[in-house]
Amino acid sequence: MAWGPGLLRLHVVSELLIAMACFLVSIALLRVARQRQGFRYNGVLLCFAACGVAFGATHATAALELWHPLNWVSYGIEATTAAISLLTLVVLVRIMPKVFAIPDELADHRFRELLENAPDAVMQVDSQGTIVIANRTAERMFGYSHEELVGSNIDLLVPQAGRDAHSALRSQFMQSGVPRLMHEREIALHGLHKDETEFPVEIGLNPVKTEAGVYVSAIIRDVTDRKQLERELERERELRVQRVEVLARLAADLAHEIKNPLAIIHARACDLNELTTHTEMLPAVEVAKTCDSIVKTTERALRVIRSVEALAHEGSNDPMQKANVRGLIEQSVELLRMRYETHGIALETEIADELPMVECREVQIEQILINLLTNAFDAIDGSENNMRWVKVRAGMRPAAVQSAGSEAVRIEVVDGGPGVTAENRGRLMETFFTTKPRGSGIGIGLSVSRTIAEDHGGTLELLDSDGPTCFRLTLPVLALHTEGGPK
Amino acid sequence: MKIEESCILVVDDELELLEIFSTWLGRAGCRVITAPNGAEALKVLREEKIDVLISDMRMPIMDGATLVRNLRQMDVPQPKVIFVSGFGNVSRREIFGMGVEALLDKPLGRANLIRALEQCLTDNEQRWSKPSPEPMAQRVSLELKSLEEATATSAFNLGRGGCCIVVDTPLKEEETVDLSVRFAREGLHIEAQGTVVWFDDKQNRAGVAFEYLQPECRQWVLRKIAELNPKSFVTQC
Same domain, A334 and A314: yes
* Residue B236 resides in a domain: no
Same domain, A21 and A50: yes
List % helix, strand, coil for chain A (3-state, nearest 5): 55, 15, 30
* Residue B184 resides in a domain: yes
CATH number at residue A441: 3.30.565.10
* Residue A113 resides in a domain: no
* Residue B128 resides in a domain: no
CATH number at residue B79: 3.40.50.2300
Which domain range does residue A313 map to?
Answer: 229-476
* Those residues with Cβ within 8 angstroms of residue B80's Cβ, 6 or more apart along the chain or in another chain: B51, B52, B53, B101, B120, B121
Which domain range does residue B151 map to?
Answer: 138-228
> Taking a C-beta distance cutoff of 8 angstroms, is the pair B194, B171 a contact?
no
Question: Helix (H, G, I), strand (E, B), or coil: what is residue A282?
Answer: coil
CATH number at residue B201: 2.40.10.220
Same domain, A285 and A418: yes
Same domain, A192 and A141: yes
* Those residues with Cβ within 8 angstroms of residue A345's Cβ, 6 or more apart along the chain or in another chain: A377, A380, A381, A388, A389, A390
* Residue A55 resides in a domain: yes
Give the residue on A whose Cα is nearest the Cα of B27: A271
Query: What's B185's DSSP letter?
Result: T
SS (H, E, C) A391-428: EEEEEECCHHHCCCCCCEEEEEEEECCCCCCHHHHCCC
Same domain, B104 and B16: yes
Same domain, B35 and B108: yes
pTM for the whole structure = 0.57
Q: Which of B24, B58, B61 to mutate to test the interface with A (most CBs of A within 10 A)?
A: B58
Closest approach of chain A CAs to the CA of B95, in angstroms? 18
Q: What is the ipTM of this complex?
A: 0.82
> Taking a C-beta distance cutoff of 8 angstroms, is the pair A228, A235 a contact?
no
* Residue A12 resides in a domain: yes
The pLDDT tens digits along chain A (487 residues) read 567 888 888 988 999 999 999 999 999 999 988 888 777 788 888 999 999 999 999 998 888 888 888 788 888 988 999 999 999 999 999 888 888 877 677 788 888 888 898 999 999 998 888 999 999 999 999 999 999 999 999 989 988 888 888 888 777 777 776 777 666 555 668 899 999 999 988 888 888 888 778 888 889 999 889 888 988 888 778 767 766 766 666 677 677 778 889 999 999 998 888 888 877 777 888 889 889 999 999 988 887 787 666 655 556 677 888 889 998 898 888 877 877 877 788 999 999 988 889 988 888 888 888 888 888 888 887 776 668 899 999 999 887 666 666 789 999 999 887 777 776 776 666 655 666 554 445 555 777 788 888 888 888 988 877 778 899 999 998 765 433 333 3
Give the total number of structural domains in chain A. 3
Give the total number of structural domains in chain B. 2
Q: How many CB pairs under 8 A join A and B?
A: 54
> Taking a C-beta distance cutoff of 8 angstroms, is the pair B140, B179 a contact?
yes
Same domain, A350 and A414: yes
* Those residues with Cβ within 8 angstroms of residue B165's Cβ, 6 or more apart along the chain or in another chain: B140, B142, B155, B156, B179, B181, B205, B206, B208
* Residue A484 resides in a domain: no
Same domain, B90 and B144: no
Same domain, B102 and B175: no
Last residue of a domain, one of A100, A131, A147: A100
Taking only residues 404 to 433 of chain A, the set having a beta carbon closer than 8 angstroms to any beta carbon of chain B reads: 423, 427, 433
Q: Which of A253, A260, A272, A286 to mutate to test the interface with B (most CBs of B within 10 A)?
A: A260
What is the maximal distance between C-alpha atoms in chain A? 167
Last residue of a domain, one of B98, B122, B146: B122
Closest approach of chain A CAs to the CA of B199, in angstroms? 20
Given CB atoms, is A256 within the 8 Å cutoff of chain B? yes
Same domain, B114 and B142: no
* Residue B56 resides in a domain: yes
Cα A123 to Cα A135: distance, rounded to the nearest angstrom: 7
Same domain, A311 and A387: yes
Same domain, A393 and A292: yes
> Taking a C-beta distance cutoff of 8 angstroms, is the pair B7, B31 a contact?
yes
Last residue of a domain, one of A160, A195, A222: A222
Closest approach of chain A CAs to the CA of B198, in angstroms? 19
